[in-house]
Structure 1
């Protein structure tokens, strides 16, 4: 029998293969090929500042995948184009990200934009992308990035929906027999999405929410937030925060005397999450994350599996250990190049039309975009993981 994933994957776009990353300065970089027609994609990423725990890893994966695409080029109509990336460091500053998007968007030779691993930097780009009618694929977590649709016609997102992650987390908590938990959600748009989603998901699962504590951005407030969460006297804490805030929260909770179970949303997972300063605190923690984390994609013999194996191989060779972060940037590049192939054009309007009518099997998961759904990751792409022996182990 055909599974839903099998049917969708049968209609999937062409997969990216891997090559290698960049070791240069973080302020700005470009991946260029030889002369000839180009597909130019701008990228504003957090290569420094608080968002670097996510941004640097995504930039490395993006460079690997771009070099692979350029080994053959992208057939756009009857023209084979090379991809040129223009990568800028937004320093985790939303205002700088908006300026970069404006500069890139006003150029006639830039066809699409990706980036923003933080919700705030992505949100600052949205208005610019809409005004300049520039397709933008966000790498950030936060449901407000793609809604309301009337104001997000050119905006797309490759990260999972908060509701899908929350439902899986609530199911795990219920299965583990916990009846009362507290939510520690970071301040900002990502935490707002988590607070809304977890409240409903826990209610549906019959698990009591003892309270919601907001995790501040400043290091000074993390300890106080952790102490407040521990004071709720529950057996479980859901940490809804992006790295490195997620690891800092785990350390603070353990320092405050919490010995119960920790549960992370997908944004918590980065290379930094399992580094030595976090390892004791996160051991035994659960996380909901796309299937690329647990190595199931590596074992897949499909084109996706082969591409992902090559990505991991090149990443390890160029940058050292690879801990299974989701290559959202690679998938964003795949989605844009697939749209260009389908549209037989690099015109921004045509790219947008084919972005919102696309089913693509990516490295992080399966994507299904429609005119009324610009957050494309399928919920079936998510898995349940636990940290065992300092590594992510897939449970289901």
Structure 2
């Protein structure tokens, strides 16, 4: 669904998304304890007609710092939806989650995706790592099942001809890199080094950062790739420190981001650190990393720390409610963006509009979604399956072991 061109002085693209927020956030769900007004026209569905969502997530292994928060977000959203059900045709459907631990192993993720679809999952969600998401995407394409990825890495949805059933909720590398480059330039940081993770996410970051720094007239003095998670980062950090950069961009995901910051400080680098969105996880702020990351910047969806006093819009209220539920259930705040919650809500909205749980119809409706979620705004089209909007992003700084919005 193409977005019509509007005079930006009258109506912005983000304004359209904000106006659509109700259709995403409120479709098929209500406030706690609320019952639908039209129960007579939308009766409860039999148990074997649930919306079955298969989730393959990194609950253990190197991706657990990202995968576990997504599991929690998914369960919180499913509970909210199931309070009133999702109106699909003349029935109200419940969500039934089938969650698997892929152990951060792409082969296991692919096996689970195939198994889940054989057992009736109409939709797949998961893959907090680029490699597991890519493995699931390949299976989703073969079995023609919609897959909503919560992983970092632009290649997850590319090439589009081979990813027609895959949609990515995380921000694109080019948008994050542009904000980081502009931030560095605004702080008069002229010589930047890049420390990028191994793998697909790091590949996307290297390409995006090179281009963004060039456009911002900031000189990239050295690019170093980190070894695989669990190996020593000391050598890579020393190679960065020896060129004495004014700033260092660490492009990776937790837990690697925090470990890289520690090693850079041990290598006597004392300048500013800049993280991409994959670093924003509780692990990065852990005790072992606290001194190293204090004062570091990150570009991340603007969904952290919604104030209970200033939340007035539908989206802000939903974010506040989500954060409250997360804190009540797990005793801590959600630091990572709740992409999985938005993924499930997008599926619910698509099922409601399609009046069907048919996989093909769900896919057809997903690729027309223009909506505001808890993590950010999405604009999927047939030619764009990486839907996080650039103006959903904000700059944060670590202050006293918390991510604070940077003015």
TM over 0.5: yes
For each residue in 1:212-252, what CA deviation from the matched residue of structure 2 results, as whole angstroms up to 9, or x when unmatched?
A: 10011143331111111111211111000000000000011
Q: Which residue of 2 aligns with 1:90?
A: 102
The structural deviation recorded for 1:18 is: 9.5
Matches within 5 A, 1:129-144: 129-144=140-155
Tell me the distance in 2 between the aligned counterparts of 1:393 and 1:125.
34
Q: Distance in 2 between matches of 1:317 and 1:297?
A: 15
Q: CA deviation at 1:291?
A: 0.5
Tell me the distance in 1 between the aligned counterparts of 2:78 and 2:310: 23
Secondary structure of 2:177 counterpart: helix
Aligned to 2:287, the other structure's residue is in SS state coil
Tell me which residue corresponds to 1:49: 61
SS in 1 for 2:295: coil
Within 1, Cα distance between the matches of 2:82 and 2:99? 16
Please tell me whether the aligned partners of residues 98 and 125 of structure 1 are also in contact (alpha carbons under 8 angstroms): yes
RMSD (Å), alpha carbons: 1.8
Aligned equivalent of 2:91:
79
> How many equivalent residue pairs?
383
Which residue does the alignment assign to 2:176?
Answer: 165
| Distance of aligned partners of 1:18 and 1:393 in 2 relative to their CA distance in 1, 3 Å threshold | farther
Q: Is the Cα contact below 8 Å between 1:48 and 1:91 reproduced in 2?
A: yes
What is the rounded CA distance, in whole Å, between the counterparts of 2:258 and 2:90 in structure 1? 49
TM-score, normalised relative to structure 2: 0.91
User: 1:18·1:67 contact (CA, 8 Å) conserved in 2?
Assistant: no
Aligned to 1:178: 189
Q: Give the 4+ runs in structure 1 shifted more than 4 A.
A: 16-20
Q: What stretches of structure 2 of length at least 5 have no aligned partner? A: 1-9, 33-44
Deviation at 1:317, TM superposition (A): 1.6
In 2, distance between residues paired with 1:276 and 1:161? 30
Which of these residues, 11, 16, 30, is aligned with residue 7 of structure 1?
Answer: 16
Deviations 1:71-114 (A, max 9, x none): 0100111211000010000000111000000101223x311000
Separation in structure 2 between the aligned mates of residue 113 and residue 43 of structure 1, nearest angstrom: 6
**In 1: Cα distance, 2:227 partner to 2:83 partner:** 45
Aligned 8 A contact 2:52 2:96 in 1: yes
Report if the CA contact (8 A) 2:327-2:334 is conserved.
no
* Residue 66 (1) aligns with residue 78 (2): yes
2:111 corresponds in structure 1 to 99
* Corresponding residue for residue 224 of structure 1: 235
In the TM superposition, 1:275-354 aligns within 5 A as: 275-295=286-306, 299-354=310-365
Deviation digits for residues 278-304 of structure 1 (CA, Å, limit 9, x no counterpart): 111100000000011243798432222
| Unaligned ranges ≥5, structure 1 | 21-32
1:346-388 CA distance string (max 9 Å, x none):
1000000000011111000010100000000100000011111
